[in-house]
Structure 1
């Protein structure tokens, strides 16, 4: 019985090795070439379509031939941790993080950041929403005095390149530190907002467990050594109110009002 299992495992390994690398690995004994070709084509095409659908800008920016080589390398060389089809794009990003042997034309230095930026849209679309009732949110709460509640479907992102500007016609050759806010609005549309460093720092501070906006803005004014802290307070609260209007901020924690 163990011999049969070992034989089956050997056959399975030969079969999957062939699918991963059809140009270098032999066809398993007993399998007709035309039938093997069907498996080769189906597996690769499904993988290619799944990856390409999530990264349309990256695919167009590196070009069809280079993108094809990258996906072939992904299939051949990478061992995914998840069998779930919907996680293939995330596995592709891990593949990019772990490998960097391609030429600059095939694998530009900004590609990993660009793919992560594109993948975030898929990731945020899967996050659950939170309701005012479930989290005891005061939609009209004082953003300065009470703990701010952000939508669950939001992230603050930092990249070395201006990923939101990259396209087939705009391929950066120098770094440009970039901060972004990405969120899913009430209509389930994914929106991206470019932030300046001060706003990014403010939102990062406001996400901390014990930090109110007033405390965050006072700290920010100290960090900037601004001669008129009141202006920082006014400017920052205006930004936060604008984000409340866009649905990024849901309100304040009503439970903390009573503490």
Structure 2
């Protein structure tokens, strides 16, 4: 703590340092221990409730004691980049992801290797549920457009996710013992419900091509056929066109860009 700071700032830093780490940071002079304990309880309980609400599966998988220790370590060690309360779960993800930051944390030494992926999977539902969907110009979208000859328009909230574990299958009684490449699509439908769709690797690649490039369905499928060294591209085009139509029926694809300039 810098001696050059005004006294009130030194007091604030000492106060918050003690709340974050009461066993190793001294209580500010003149502050009653019982009153300080009230602040500690309020701060931690609110943090704990916010994190636990977003990651219920992770909490169950770890168990109450390990989850409590991990959340305490989060409060003690993580320097958040935002003061916004609803973004605490995202900060918790950052804490889990930066292993070098808390490599010596006792609470982290026994964490399962899939925990960060599991927490990201749980957090993405919150993200998509609260994501402000941009307004799409309806006159530029043809709901019945040809997915082969035009560029498909996806739901603005669509996210394509790849994990090294089958995160959507993890539970208290189903903890993965080995890696399993997993591809998922998540979006918010017209009824504002968050939906997850499991994809195979080829469908994931196809949607990635279409999401990242302003190309037609046929162009993307042709690229995909080339990548797969498919000797009869017309076969793969017909097969995966049915997949795109199925996604349109689920509301993942709104239609096609009728403007000729992408979505």
TM-score scaled by length of structure 1: 0.93
Match of 2:68 in 1: 68
1:104 Cα deviation after fit: 6.8
2:195 alignment partner, one of 191, 199, 207: 191
Q: Root-mean-square deviation (CA), in Å?
A: 2.0
1:98 Cα deviation after fit: 1.1
Match of 2:126 in 1: 122
- Structure 1 unmatched ranges of 5 or more: none
1:107 alignment partner, one of 111, 117, 131: 111
Match of 1:58 in 2: 58
Deviations 1:179-229 (A, max 9, x none): 111111111111111111110111011113332110111121122122332
1:163 alignment partner, one of 160, 167, 170: 167
Q: Answer whether contact 1:132 1:138 (CA < 8 A) is retained.
A: no
Distance 2:34 2:248 in 1: 60
1:24 Cα deviation after fit: 2.4
TM-score scaled by length of structure 2: 0.92
Q: How many residues align?
A: 256
How has the CA–CA distance of structure 1 residues 104 and 80 changed in structure 2, closer, same or farther, with 3 Å as cutoff?
closer
Distance 2:204 2:122 in 1: 20
Match of 1:12 in 2: 12
Look up the SS of the partner of 2:259 in the other structure.
helix
Look up the SS of the partner of 2:260 in the other structure.
helix
- Structure 2 unmatched ranges of 5 or more: none
Distance 1:35 1:144 in 2: 67
Distance 1:45 1:160 in 2: 32
Match of 2:237 in 1: 233
How has the CA–CA distance of structure 1 residues 257 and 70 changed in structure 2, closer, same or farther, with 3 Å as cutoff?
closer
Deviations 1:225-259 (A, max 9, x none): 2233222111111111111111110111111189x
Match of 1:31 in 2: 31
The farther-off stretch of 215-224 and 243-252 is: 215-224
